[in-house]
Structure 1
């Protein structure tokens, strides 16, 4: 009886530890900065090259930070929407296509985008009282850590102001940014093609989806020529 109890307790500990590790590695337990902050407000059109395991994806992304929240939309090369997620406060509204890999959760993709493009000061303020999470900066890198574990490394172009300031009008000229997961076979290369700086007013996420989709289709046509 004692052996059975010991085995059950051990299995429970392993299961709990596994769940906690997954929560960390998928960024599910990572607190996110507020949508309003140091460099609000803007919207950006981006090209993403995602390598996940043995699969490779080329997507168009549209990311916006406005007075009404954060919106991320991803499209395939034919302009079909694969993902849209809108965050305001702690509320998340999401759409996910079955074609998007299961190993790329919606919140993970949003958190990764915010990790890359939000000002360092926003992250420092958010994580100051949040236990093991922290973001360390060097001249051209950001590293997300949980305790001593390196979870994600973001590499910017040498001399990039985005490392400290986040998304700005200079980002288009600073080249590609590469996000590397330290525990999963996941790399995301991001090239920002256009940035529109916005006044802090309400922007309809529906109209943002439509504009981004239209631009995505145009880009696909140009690439196919």
Structure 2
């Protein structure tokens, strides 16, 4: 008869030891994912700083081009570059840095205080709840990290997009001026390409002068 109580005591002791160990591991797991969230947020802040610095530089250069009557294709490239970085910054703030609800590491006291149940039963149920909270943090980390990676990749493509915009504007300018300046009006063919670039007026005058002397 004395063997039965001893077996029960040993079983309860093993269960308590198991609960202690699982709770410790769960706390470490939750701490790791919360720290990972902090690291991702730090990386997002660093990326935002770089993007905003690019927006500021593009804005300053755009103003300079307006003041100096810079080339249209260069102005288009600068504006496109700045707008792309600004849109990426907005996406970064809304998708990665926006403050949202974060699961707490432990349950509320009023939920934990259940006199009708044994402590072992409450601890076992809380382990299940902790696992659910860990899943929420992991899903949030994965979504935030995925958005951050996409934004960084798109930031690398911004110069390409700006170059395409510059090429389109330059091509449209050349085509428009080519249609306006026909050979019947005596406009040299070399001047047609220069008309697309406002900063090349000096060269354009030289071409016209040479044409007049030749005539």
Q: Which has the higher contact order (CA 8 A, sep 6+)?
A: 2
Category of TM-score, reference length = shorter chain = under 0.3
Give the TM-score normalised by structure 1.
Answer: 0.25
Higher share in strand: 1
Higher share in helix: 2
Which is greater in Rg? 2
Give the TM-score normalised by structure 2.
Answer: 0.26
